[in-house]
Copies of this chain bind each other. A is one copy, B any other.
Amino acid sequence: MSNTPNLLEQQDGFSSDYEAENPIVSALDLSSDAEVRVRLEALHPADFSDFVEELTDAQRATLIERAPELITGELLAELDDDVVEDVLLLLEPHLIANALTELDSDDVTQIMEEMEDAQREDVLGAMQPLERAEVEASLAFDDETIGRLMQREFVSAPEFWTVGDTLDHMRETGEDLPDVFYNVYVVDPRLRPIGYVPLSKLIRKSRTTTLASLMKEKLVTIDQNLDQEDAAYLFEKYHLISAPVVNADGRMVGMMTVDDILEIIQDENKEDILALAGVSEAGITDTAFETVKSRAPWLLINLGTAILASLVIARFDYAIEQIVALAVLMPIVASMGGNAGTQALTVAVRGLSERDLTSATAWRAIRREGVSALIIGIIFAVAMAGIAYVWFKDWRLAGVAFAAMIINHVLAGLAGILIPLGLKRAGADPAVSSSVFVTTVTDVVGFAAFLGFAALILL
């Protein structure tokens, strides 16, 4: 009945079954193709797709050859983008077109995106004209916009309909309704959404109740050109399960549902966290070469900024030659500033993506960063001065460390919030390049303040 417990044991990892056997691999050992099919059909589609993702290309080819009926539209929709690309290459166009007929239009579009141009043409050619037109309309929208992601199947009704009318209509329409849906959208004569009735309200009411009397009017609609991240924000903020998508005239042209939004949210979160670390992309099936490609560019930029910091040190080489303790202590100042800057930066980037950090709260946040950076700076300046004195028995060196630490902390805190705010205002993604700027500031300022004061006071 439920495959939950098993799943969690297996996935939570690092237990006894460290190299658990993939059930597809063991099924392919069976001699009869029918047995293979029966065995694998028992899996939940989401589990089946996970196991397909773990197979080699040769194993996938064997699976397709021995049990082609298992390659359903649902499976293709479940697979990771990288994997679906590989699997599609193993399939005939008519087989793909067939598999896609069972899906809602949003899933079809998502799969078509992963095809190469020639294959996409072949599959479009093998589709029903109406389905084909829908897919082509979706693909005409920009990547990551709602027009591309929405499904074109939805249920709408005029406000004068009764509950009875609506239920009868849905029974008659049957297969042409969306696979699953949660709301009936009430539209005006020009097909503009004006309210909605959750199914769970509709079925509680008598057949004679009108939709007009039932519908909720505080409706959040989504423009078909809206970016997916903005749409995800609306779903979160208004706790939406589904929302009508409208065109420039306000006419309802599609529907977004929360399951697709969940994926978008995870993708956007992943993008943010990876961008902060300077990684452009990461997937389960990455090769070492892809890993290098996604990380080397930021390391190259970091090399540049590290050299900048080194130039600062080189500028004060005469001071280090005379007082080697400076070389010993200087990385502490830079490292503390770098970490404090990263803390402020991460909080700011997260606040921007959650939209807690807005025009209304920006000044308060900047003030808070400034004040807390000063407090933290003083705390650790005292600690640092103590360490410098205990270690090198020199009050003046301790004083230099004290002053450099405060300055670097305050600048780190301010850079940590002002840089992402500035990037956002300039229309750039604050997660992508903030780290470079912030750590450059803290390294350069850290070394310059510490060595500069030292040169002034100690020499």
Which positions in A face B, CB cutoff 8 Å? 1-5, 7-8, 10-15, 17-20, 22, 44-46, 50, 54, 167, 170-171, 173-174, 177-178, 180-182, 193-194, 198-206, 217-223, 230, 233-239, 241, 258-259, 261-263, 265-266, 269-270, 272-274, 276-279, 282-284, 286-289, 291-292, 295-296, 298-300, 302-303, 306-307, 309-310, 313-314, 317, 320-321, 324-325, 327-329, 331-332, 334-336, 339-340, 342-343, 345-347, 349-351, 354-362, 367-369, 371-372, 375-376, 379-380, 383-384, 387, 421, 424-425, 443, 447
Contact = CB atoms under 8 A, between A and B. Distances in A.
Contacts of A174: 204
A277 B171 contact: no
A44 B218 contact: yes
Contacts of A261: 262
Contact of A288 (B265, B317, B335, B372): B372
B203 A181 contact: no
User: How many copies of the shown chain assemble into the complex?
Assistant: 2
Given A200-B181, A368-B288, A194 B309 contact: no
Contact of A234 (B4, B272, B387): B4
A234 to B, nearest CB: 6
Given A54-B361, A332-B310, A354-B270, A339 B298 contact: yes
Contacts of A291: 368-369, 372
A290 to B, nearest CB: 9
A452 B227 CA distance: 53
A347 B291 CA distance: 10
Contacts of A217: 1
Given A46-B237, A288-B372, A331-B334, 7 more contacts: A1-B193, A3-B220, A171-B203, A236-B266, A276-B346, A289-B372, A300-B383
